[in-house]
Amino acid sequence: MRSTAQRAYEVLTESLAARGVEIDAVEERLRAQRVETPSWGYGDTGTRFAVFPQTGVPRDPFEKLADAAQVHGLTGVCPSVAIHIPWDKVDDYGELKGHAESLGLRIGAVNPNLFQEPEYKLGSVCHPDPAVRRKATDHLLECVQVAKETGSDVLSLWFADGTNYAGQDSFVERRNRMVESLGEVYAAMPSSMRMFIEYKPYEPSFYHTDLADWGAALTMGQRLGERAQVLVDLGHHAKEVNIEYVVALLLDEGRLGGFHFNNRKYGDDDLIVGSVNPFELFLIFVELVEAEEISDTRIDYMIDQTHNIEPKIEAMILSIMNLQEAYAKALLIDRAALTEARHSGDVLGAHCILLDAYATDVRPLCARIREDLGGASDPITTFEESGYAEKVSEERGEGAGAGWN
């Protein structure tokens, strides 16, 4: 007897075939989807006001990788894990690399930390004191070496640098300090490594931020070289910003290096991707899918979330499921019909083509893809029934606040 899931999948694929969708091609691309999860998303985290400990969270980078392996095993699309230095600092990075590989994972982007040291109160690579800038640059060079030792080919940069008061410092001098520092780091990177430059409009500096928007990040990358690309964090935008438009322009410039997927209601990025505005997430994938069809440009898809009140692993699994579904819907768009509607000035026709794809319930399709990849059709329930959370809670206890400590 066919299962309910099987019947749902058959009904959906029959409906899609009647719409002219090439099911095999869609499924092939869904199986090839890859999303990087962050080590810091598995440890204890919090807001700028407090850290909220959870039982059973990882106590070190090795246990973070073990939790990440659960997410990859159940979803099939998360083979890489981003690390944060010094939060994930170890004595032997070769050992960390080997541990990841033993779990079916690999180390992804290396993320330096230039915002927690007392010396960075007035900035890191933009600081007016050359000694502080030297310390910051040396840390970036350390992270290049970490990337070499772990097999990573991405250095992912976010800076808290900025000012709080008018007249505090020179905008142009600060920019030139950043160019000098990052130029040294860029020159030290192997030719196979890329530098991602992330931007944020505000916080923790509230008068100005040295990398406040995509234009500042883009022009910084252009000053450095072709392998310096922009990283778009979905939470790092003002409410009114059309993020899919930013994505399209960066794609057209060939400078979109990667994504930090998350969600925000007002600002910052501590919510599960797709939890507040799933239609916006779909529209971003509309642009990404179009770019995939006309170019083989590599774009790294990464999650950047701190699950402060939710259970960590379940939250990460839900994030991946949301990304799978948004991508699947974007793959269903009739691109030929959309182009014809656009060129003929059929405004509502073009809009409704997107709405038809967005309204499609792709959950049975994504469930089948996860099963094809060795994962679970219902990964959250499968995880909750596995006993893993209870096991590590007993072994780890209260953890050690790996992350915001």
Read off the pTM: 0.95
Interhelix angle 278-294/243-253, nearest 10 degrees: 20
Q: Are strands 208-209 and 194-198 parallel, antiparallel or unpaired?
A: unpaired
Q: What is the pLDDT averaged over residues 289-293?
A: 89
Q: What is the pLDDT averaged over residues 356-360?
A: 98
Average pLDDT over the chain reads 95
Q: What per-residue confidence (pLDDT) applies to 270?
A: 80
Task: Round to whole Å and give the CA distance between 242 and 254.
Answer: 19
Percentage of residues in the chain with pLDDT exceeding 90? 88
Diameter of the chain by CA atoms? 74
- What tokens appear for 109 in the block? 């982007």
Q: What per-residue confidence (pLDDT) applies to 36?
A: 98
Nearest to 371, CA basis, from 103, 31, 68:
31
Nearest to 42, CA basis, from 329, 396, 345:
396
Q: What is the pLDDT averaged over residues 131-142?
A: 98
Q: What is the pLDDT averaged over residues 96-101?
A: 98
> Is the pLDDT reported for residue 203 higher than 70?
yes
- What tokens appear for 323 in the block? 């990304």
Could you tell me the sign of the dihedral formed by the alpha carbons of 148, 154, 156, 157, in that order? positive
Number of H-type helices and E-type strands within the chain? 15, 10
**Domains of the chain by range and CATH?**
4-396 (3.20.20.150)
What values do phi and psi take at 5, rounded to 5? Answer: -65, -40
Give how far Cα 219 sits from Cα of 106, 133, 175, 178, Å.
Answer: 31, 21, 11, 12
Amino acid (one-letter) located at 244 = E
What values do phi and psi take at 272, rounded to 5? Answer: -65, 135
Q: pLDDT of 210-260, one tens digit each?
A: 999 999 999 999 999 999 999 999 999 998 899 999 999 999 999 999 999
Residue 84 host element (H or E): strand 80-85
Task: Round to whole Å and give the CA distance between 10 and 199.
Answer: 44
> Is the pLDDT reported for residue 1 higher than 70?
no
Q: What per-residue confidence (pLDDT) applies to 222?
A: 98
Task: Round to whole Å and give the CA distance between 353 and 351.
Answer: 5
What values do phi and psi take at 108, rounded to 5? Answer: -95, -135
Q: What is the CA radius of gyration of the chain?
A: 22
Instruction: Give the lowest-confidence range in 88-92, 138-142, 205-209, 294-298.
Output: 294-298
Give how far Cα 387 sits from Cα of 307, 380, 382, 391, Å.
Answer: 20, 12, 9, 6
Q: What per-residue confidence (pLDDT) applies to 294?
A: 82
Cα of first residue to Cα of last residue in the chain, in angstroms, is: 53
Q: What is the pLDDT averaged over residues 287-304?
A: 90
> Is the pLDDT reported for residue 397 higher than 90?
no
Q: pLDDT of 18-69, one tens digit each?
A: 999 999 999 999 999 999 999 999 998 877 788 888 999 999 999 999 999 9
Q: What per-residue confidence (pLDDT) applies to 402?
A: 52
Q: What per-residue confidence (pLDDT) applies to 403?
A: 56
> Is the pLDDT reported for residue 399 higher than 90?
no
Side-chain-side CA neighbours of 87 within 13 Å: the count stands at 28
Q: What per-residue confidence (pLDDT) applies to 400?
A: 61
Q: What per-residue confidence (pLDDT) applies to 349?
A: 98
Task: Round to whole Å and give the CA distance between 355 and 333.
Answer: 9
